[in-house]
Copies of this chain bind each other. A is one copy, B any other.
Amino acid sequence: MSERGDPADPLLRGDDTDDETILEQAETGLDEDDRLKPEFLSSVLDAVEDGDSETARDLVSPLHPADIADLLELTPSDRRADVASALGDLVGAEVLSELNDYVRDDLIGALAPEQVAEFAAELDTDDAVAMIEDMEEADQQAVLDALDPEDRAAIESALSYPEESAGRLMQRDLVAVPAHMTVGQVIDYLRDNADLTQDFWEIYIVDAAHRPIGYCQLSWILTCPRGIAMTDLMKREQTLIPVDMDQEEVALRFQKYALISAAVVDSAGRLVGMITVDDVVHIIAEEAGEDILRLSGAGEGDINQPILMTVRTRLVWLVVNLGTAMVAASVVGLFEDTIEHLAMLAALMGIVSGMGGNAGTQTLAVMVRAIATNQVTSSNTLRMIVREFRIAATNGSVLGVLIGIGSYLIYGQLGLSLVFATAILINNMVAGLAGVLIPVTLDRRNIDPAVSSAVFVTMMTDSLGFLTFLGLATLFLT
């Protein structure tokens, strides 16, 4: 957010003041989705390749830091250092703070600690911490040593909180005033203290022990006469964030209570920092988006992750799934005699397991999202189970009838069609129940249901699908 803090910020994003402002994206190389146009990227890369840094800088300088970060991410990795050095100070602290972690670590690795320290000093504590928290210890220490004592203390104190906690997210620069002040006194105080942060949306009112007793939106202060006491204006009902709260919970709390900023307090209730919504918006998006990646075993799914790291993450998942596939295969193995007699069963059994797998994945996806968004409590678990079971029974019946009739028309064997339809119905109900019970059970044991559920659900739908279909076939068709 720091790019919005300083009204004299030199990083301009189009500098027209005419009525074409809406269209400025077109002029600055962005398409309608705010993505950089390929032609634009090529022009920049070509200019850098030709050694024409000036053209490259002219092209890039109208961009917002977030777009310059995108540009570096879209640049092939072996050319990023060249592009960054051609762009010089256009790749400033804000661009680095907007960069993907892997891309940033790559670029920062090439810088001297003093340069990194210079960038860190320009940023809010939270952005500076994000920039250096993944560095190796020796490098991190070198950067800290190069910082001035005040910045170093702020960053060291942030680093003392657990990773992904509110303490790492918060900024220390905030405005807190004592309870006895009036609106006029607060305005005078703000005008007289030029070194205050420019990025705040609410003011906290604190008691003698620096504990927040209320907050005021800036708009309330601006719309009130100077004589009003802050304690009359402030709202006492605050949503406070404990400094050790996990960032995911912080994000959900911001989302639930529609917060713009919130005070962070230590265990004694003292105000130690402030988190603003722009710092949690990307967490909200990441947390919501990562379930799909976890459920499929794709790890963090970052397209900038080094390839070997990606291979390792995905391979672990595939090997685990190999285990469940072998369980299912061994179930089929039990029925080799049946299959020798009726080879067509081998073709059809995949439909039973596959349909169960699809139905199970549907239920699982719904449950994983509901659990992640705190919508499931023991108050409604039973209701969810009943609901999913009814859905599964309905869908299973419809599919069973469809498949029964369809297979009768194709093969003309009533027994086969009945076995087929029954197996489909049973496996759908297995899928529905497993799709609810497995994630709920894992969640109760504090295991992330997004990571682990799919393996179990698939094992159930594959193995029981084969068992039901081939078992019924063995009993009634051979």
A398 touches B307 (CB 8 A): no
**Within 8 Å CB of A363, what residues of B?**
298
A311:B222 contact, CB within 8 angstroms: no
Hey, which chain B residues are within 8 Å of A343, CB to CB? 336-337, 339-340, 343, 346
The complex places the Cα of A289 from the Cα of B286 at a distance, in Å, of 9
Bits for A426-461, please: 1 = Cβ < 8 Å to B, else 0.
000000000000000000000000000000001000
In-complex Cβ contact of A253 among B34, B252, B399 (8 A): B34
Report the nearest B residue to A377, measured CB to CB: B35
Contacts of A345 in B (CB 8 A): 346
Q: How many angstroms from the CA of A380 to the CA of B77 in the assembled complex?
A: 11
Please tell me which one of the listed residues B284, B295, B387 contacts residue A307 in the complex, with CB atoms under 8 A apart: B387
Q: Is A301 located at the chain interface by the 8 A CB criterion? A: yes
B190, A223: Cβ atoms closer than 8 Å: yes
B310 near A240: Cβ-Cβ < 8 Å: no
A336, B347: Cβ atoms under 8 Å? yes
The residues in A between 250 and 297 inclusive whose CB is less than 8 angstroms from any CB of B are 252-260, 265, 268-269, 276-278, 281-282, 284-286, 288-289, 291-293, 295-297
User: Do B255 and A281 touch across chains, with their CB atoms under 8 A apart?
Assistant: yes
Total chain A interface residues with beta-carbon distance under 8 A: 163
Cβ of A80 within 8 Å of any chain B Cβ, yes or no, is no
Binding stretch for chain B, among A112-120, A130-138, A149-157, A350-358: A350-358
Cβ-based interface call for A92 (8 A): no
A218-B220 in contact (CB<8A): no
Can you give 25 contacting A-B residue pairs, CB < 8 Å? A5-B217, A7-B216, A15-B237, A17-B214, A34-B249, A193-B223, A194-B223, A198-B223, A200-B219, A260-B276, A284-B288, A291-B292, A292-B295, A295-B365, A296-B358, A296-B361, A296-B365, A297-B358, A303-B384, A317-B362, A318-B355, A319-B402, A329-B347, A339-B339, A354-B458
| Interfacial chain B residues near A330, Cβ < 8 Å | 347
Check B358–A395 contact: CB distance below 8 A. Answer: no
Q: A233–B383 contact, CB under 8 A? A: no
Query: Which of A46-54, A82-90, A139-147, A366-374 touches B?
Result: A366-374
Bound CA span A368–B211, Å:
45
Interchain nearest-CB distance for A198 vs B (Å): 6
Q: How far is the CA of A115 from the CA of B333 in the complex (A)?
A: 66
* Contact in complex: A222, B190 (CB < 8 Å): yes
| Nearest residue, chain B, Cβ from A399 | B318
Which chain B residue lies CB-closest to A214?
A: B17
